Structure formats: structure tokens, C-alpha cells
Structure 1
Amino acid sequence: MMYAPVEFSEAEFSRAEYQRKQQFWDSVRLALFTLAIVAIIGIAIGIVTHFVVEDDKSFYYLASFKVTNIKYKENYGIRSSREFIERSHQIERMMSRIFGHSSVGGRFIKSHVIKLSPDEQGVDILTVLIFRYPSTDSAEQIKKKIEKALYQSLKTKQLSLTINKPSFRLTPIDSKKMRNLLNSRCGIRMTSSNMPLPASSSTQRIVQGRETAMEGEWPWQASLQLIGSGHQCGASLISNTWLLTAAHCFWKNKDPTQWIATFGATITPPAVKRNVRKIILHENYHRETNENDIALVQLSTGVEFSNIVQRVCLPDSSIKLPPKTSVFVTGFGSIVDDGPIQNTLRQARVETISTDVCNRKDVYDGLITPGMLCAGFMEGKIDACKGDSGGPLVYDNHDIWYIVGIVSWGQSCALPKKPGVYTRVTKYRDWIASKTGM
């Protein structure tokens, strides 16, 4: 419904009423003008204060301590193991509880467990702590505040893990040391400022897409290129020398000397380029049925991990993602069916779809095998496409990213009831380990 404007005649709208209103509005205008000036001055002071006084920067600390109410397990030494991951998340949640609601609460950013080691009393923990403080503060001043908050929390909070108080050591480290320590952890995305990057909220890419926001947003993404022919497929870095991709990428040419791999958010120019030493296709790959569509690529020389190039985590074979789990797919592929390759990396949020639904007669009619995973939307619209093959489908677990799928096949791109089909990585953990030792 629309409201019609109220109409007045000249007789109804007297001059006296007009003058009272005029005086009233003059006072209001003056008050508003004064408020505006005050607000502008306040904002200007705030901006100056922010940049001159409160120019926050990141401070990094290496924290080591003993936990005495748990026993060391052999798999704690394997960073991709379920035991290490679950215990790390428990410790990181405890750090958030200790610092998030303490006197340094607004300054605490996050923690990342680096190492779990055996100790006679329990388990030795090594973790990186990240805080934001004004750049005028010193690392030693902040260290004292952190220690005070920790000791106060140990007195007042009931924690799931028992920290041996005398064992606690806090050492300031610089951003380079912090980055080197986090490089030992897989699946961590870094921005150019070396800060761990939160999960992207983008819901578009590839078909119906947007370009990736910044260099280093998906640092394990690689482009596999045939020399002289350009980009053919995507791939994912799983160590400094191994890439995980799809077997069908090599059905025309599997001569490693003809291939190169590049890294970075653009194909041209690449951030890093490497020659290929070896290509390993799954022995039981069947092109007709798309079964076992998985391959490994070994680089001729290893890459150096950085903000731009990082490895993604391999999932434990026991990980199961329920339907409608949010996952992300990335690639340089077409944004329309049979369109050109994109020079800039693109991304999309999609959702896992159960095998039962995907095998319905009106969807893929029984073609989905246990080694396959469906993801997308039943209404279509968002999907991987030609040129994205071999690229990663990743899952975020507490800001640690795991590759759960490899772009494999689908009917056209983004059609209703024809979601993307991915190689289910958890089914191939033993195969990957047998070829790479990982």
C-alpha cells in the first residue's frame, strides 16, 4: 500500500503557524549543524588516535607447558592423525577459554598447536599464541600481561586439561619464526600480513562466481599445464613435493617432462613454477566409469612454504561429512559450459549431497560409487566446470583445511539435479600413503 500526501489549502495553513514552525526548524537546524561539527571533530580525533596511538600490530609468542592429566599416544606424533587433531582442538579451545574471557580477552586472536611430545608427567605442548596490541607496547610488557591472565585463569577456572603451572614458558617470537612454525602445520591459510585467514563467506565462484579475494587465500591450489598448451587441470599441494589431482587429466599425455605446475592466485604471472618429475595414476582408474579418478604428481624440486604456497591437510580415513556440510571448491576453469579458462583463481561454497540422493534415478541413476562424493546444490547454479578438474574440494575444521574431494566429473555445469562429482579422498588414504609415505 502507498500513502497519499496530505494536502492543505492556504486558509488552513496560517502565517502564525508557519512562523512558529520556522523558528522551531531554525533551532533544529542549528542543533543538527552543531552535532555534525562535533561528530566530524570526534571522528577525526578517533582516526588520528587510531593511527598514531592505537596502531595495533600482531605479537606472537611460543608457549610451552606440560599437561598432566592425559597420557601420550603414539599418533600424537602424526599431525594428520585424528588423535593429534582432536587433542589440538581441545587445547586450542582451552586457550580461547583462558584468554578470551580474561584481562587480555579483547587482545587474544587465536592459538595453534605445533607439537605434542611425550613427558614422564603427561604430555608436553608447544603452541603459538597470537595477540593484537598497540605497536607502542613492548613484547615483554605484553608477556607479563599474558602470564598474569593465565595464572589468574588457572586459579579461577575449571579446565578440562591440567596445566602444570611451573612448566609454563612464554617466549616472544617474530613473524618469520611464527610463519616457519605454522608451516609445519598443514591446512593453514595466511594473508599477506601473516595473520591466519578466517573462513571465506563467499557463496559464489566458477559457474556463478567471484574471483578469489587475495593472494594466499587458497595456497595449496596449483595449475597443471602442458608445455605449449597451457592450463589443463587443477591440483592440490599435500607436501612440498607432492600434488594430488585427477587421473583423467593425463589420459592424453602422461609424460612428466611435458608438464609444469604453477602456484598463486593467477596463472599468468605465476607466483611459483616447478617442473614435474613423476606422474602416478591409480592402477584401477577406469575412464568409462570415472572410478578411481585419482593421481599423484611429484615435483622435480620442492617448493618453499610461504604466505602464498602452503600444503592442505589430508583427512583421516575415518572422517565422514554429513549431507549439507559446507565445503569449498576452487579452480581456474570456465565460468560457463565450454567457456574459456580463467586467469584468476575462483571459488565457491557448495554443500555435500548424500550418495543415496545422488544415485536417484532423476539425478545420476546409480553411477555414484563409494569412491565418489557429490557436492553442489540440487537446484544447480553453482558448480565446478571444465578446467577445474583435479582441483580441491576442501573442508574447514577449526580453521584447519582438509581436502575431502578432487574435481572429477559431472553432467555439463551447474544444471539442476546434476551436482559436481568428486573423488572421495578418505577412500584413498592408504593408496596415497603407499605411494608417498604420507
Structure 2
Amino acid sequence: MRTKFTLFGALAAALLLCHVALAKPPEFELAAKRWMNKAEFKIVGGQDADPSMYRWQVALLNASVPNVFYAQYCSGMFITATAVLTAAHCVEGLSEKEISVLVGASTLDGTGKTIDIRKIVLHDGYNSSSKENDIAVILLAASTAIDPVTWLDTNHEDKLFSENLDIYVSGWGLTDPFSSNSKSKSLKDAVVPMQTNDTCNRSDAHNKRVLESMFCAGLHVGGEDTCLGDSGGPATYVADGKRMLAGIVSWGAVCGLPKKYGVYTRVSRFSDWLREAISR
């Protein structure tokens, strides 16, 4: 049963769209501020995810923050034993030493294992203003035994993109779009319907900002969405009883508002780039 909540929140629309002005991702810097302030967090609504469905999901951590709950600022997912897929805006302007990857934990309570990063591969066509090509690969310094998620290949795209297809989104981001203290300690998920790009680009929605290399999903009436802190995480669907990766959490307006659907990088459009990035 679906619950109505905002999964991955924003401080405000301006904060979600301010990547151009900042040298580092705002989520990354917010993690350090939370640790300095030791804020008391209150979880507002939501549903805990089934950890068995998201073993391949990882938390990206601000390596300067010693507590994983405060350090988490974005998500990613294993696509090979040594490669994590995420959004370009989660790693732009950051060095390998500034980030670590938390694996094997669905709750940010000190469980799991952190792995160092060997190399960050940012898409060279990434545009921080339009969020075009918002995709990056993190190559780890050590291998893991975690089975990767299967990502949708270009040749099979026609099996996915249909209006109202159930899209599963998950993350540790804000559960209240107007409270920076609503960060979730446990991994949460939601189910939202896919929308056509024509619907996404209407003047009362995202007004022609959703490109062909993106897709959007969400309820017309709002309520369920992804938000600040969920960036880089997965948008999956079920095919033949198996989860398939369709997208990467990329951008949006204030989370959960009517017709302000969440926007995702369309992974199937990057098959060749992904294979090259993984091989580095």
C-alpha cells in the first residue's frame, strides 16, 4: 500500500537549482553543517524500504564527517563489483579523497563498510545548469561481493517507457521538503507513476526543461517524490519479477508539489558511455 510522503526533500526550489553557483554540491556541504550543529532529526511519514530489494544501493558520504548519518549526502548503486553509478551533480568539484562509499547498510547507524574511491569519472558533457548528462561513475579501490543492479540497455528501451509504469525510488533524503532536519536514518522508498516527457514539459510542470535523455515520474496531485539527499539514487521498475535500473535521481522543483514531477537521468541513453567509464 502506498503512503503519501515526500521521500527526497529540498530546502527550497532555489537550493535545488543552485549547483551552478557552488563549487561543491550543496548536499555535500549541508552534511558538514549538520554535523557541526548536531541537529536533532525527526522523520516525517514515509515507509521503510525492504533492504533485500536494495542491496546494491550505497550511500555517498562526506569523508570529513565521522558519523555516517550526518555524512550521507547522496546515493549510488553498484553496476559492477567495483563501479558505482551516481549523478554527476553529486561528485562535481569533489576529489576522490573527499568522498567515501558506504556499502551493506540500509540504516545509517554505523553498520556496513566504507570503501575508498580510486577514480571519479564525470560525464564530460555534464551541464550543471540544464542537468543534461547528469551521470557519473565512481570506481572503487576494492571489490565487493554485492550483486549489481541490472541497468536498462539502449536496445531494450521500448520495454520500459510507458505512461503510468510503476517506478520505485529510494533514498535517505529529506521526508519533509520544508525542513532540513527531516533527514531519514533508514532507507525509504516510494512508488510513483512514470509520466510522458510531453506531460513533464507542460507550462504548469517543468516547462520544456525535461530533455530526451531524461524522464520524469510522480503523481499529478503531488505527495510522493524524491528530495534533497536522494540525488544519485535509483529509479527502478519490475520486469519479469526482477528489478531493472531505469534512471538516476537528478533534479526537481520543491519536492512533492502537484505536477512538479521528479526528473531522472535516462540510463538507457548512456550504454556506450557507461561501458567505457567502467573500463577505466
Aligned to 1:376: 218
Shift of 1:269: 1.9
Aligned to 2:230: 388
Change (3 A) 1:362 1:202: closer
What CA distance in whole angstroms lies between the structure 1 residues aligned with 2:3 and 2:47? Answer: 9
Aligned to 2:176: 336
Aligned to 1:327: 167
Deviations along 1:29-56, whole A, 9 cap, x unmatched? xxxxxxxxxxxxxxxxxxxxxxxxxxxx
1:84-95 alignment runs, 5 A limit: none
What CA distance in whole angstroms lies between the structure 1 residues aligned with 2:270 and 2:4? Answer: 29
Amino acid at match of 1:331: G
Q: Do the aligned partners of 1:204 and 1:349 also contact (CA within 8 Å) in 2?
A: no
Q: Do the aligned partners of 1:379 and 1:416 also contact (CA within 8 Å) in 2?
A: yes
Amino acid at match of 2:208: G
What CA distance in whole angstroms lies between the structure 1 residues aligned with 2:267 and 2:214? Answer: 8
Shift of 1:216: 2.3
TM-score by length of 2: 0.79
Shift of 1:231: 0.9
Shift of 1:268: 2.1
2:95 equivalent to 1:259: no
1:213-228 alignment runs, 5 A limit: 213=50, 215-228=51-64
Amino acid at match of 1:414: G
Shift of 1:236: 0.8
What CA distance in whole angstroms lies between the structure 2 residues aligned with 1:407 and 1:302? Answer: 25
Aligned to 1:297: 138
The answer to which of 347-356 and 316-325 deviates more is: 316-325
Aligned to 2:114: 273
What CA distance in whole angstroms lies between the structure 1 residues aligned with 2:266 and 2:165? Answer: 14
Q: Do the aligned partners of 2:149 and 2:244 also contact (CA within 8 Å) in 1?
A: yes
Q: Tell me the SS of whatever aligns to 1:387.
A: coil
Shift of 1:374: 0.3
Aligned to 1:313: 150
Deviations along 1:382-404, whole A, 9 cap, x unmatched? 00010000000011111221110
Q: Tell me the SS of whatever aligns to 2:116.
A: strand
Q: Do the aligned partners of 2:139 and 2:278 also contact (CA within 8 Å) in 1?
A: no
Q: Do the aligned partners of 2:4 and 2:223 also contact (CA within 8 Å) in 1?
A: no
TM-score by length of 1: 0.51
What CA distance in whole angstroms lies between the structure 2 residues aligned with 1:303 and 1:295? Answer: 19
Q: Tell me the SS of whatever aligns to 1:257.
A: helix
1:180-219 alignment runs, 5 A limit: 202-203=2-3, 206=7, 209-213=46-50, 215-219=51-55
What CA distance in whole angstroms lies between the structure 2 residues aligned with 1:339 and 1:418? Answer: 20
Higher relative contact order (CA 8 A, sep 6+): 2
What CA distance in whole angstroms lies between the structure 1 residues aligned with 2:3 and 2:268? Answer: 25
Give the superposed CA RMSD.
1.7
Aligned to 2:16: none
Q: Do the aligned partners of 1:204 and 1:210 also contact (CA within 8 Å) in 2?
A: no
Decide which of 415, 418, 437 is 2:257's aligned counterpart.
415
Decide which of 163, 174, 199 is 1:357's aligned counterpart.
199
- How many residue pairs are counted as aligned between the two chains? 232
Give structure 1 stretches of 5+ with no counterpart: 1-200
Shift of 1:204: 5.3
Q: Do the aligned partners of 2:57 and 2:76 also contact (CA within 8 Å) in 1?
A: yes
1:118-129 alignment runs, 5 A limit: none
Q: Tell me the SS of whatever aligns to 1:385.
A: coil
Q: Tell me the SS of whatever aligns to 1:210.
A: coil
Shift of 1:217: 2.8
Shift of 1:357: 0.6
1:1-40 alignment runs, 5 A limit: none
More helix by share: 1
Amino acid at match of 2:133: N
1:277-288 alignment runs, 5 A limit: 277-288=118-129
Greater gyration radius = 1
Deviations along 1:328-376, whole A, 9 cap, x unmatched? 0000000011433211100001111000010111111111111111011
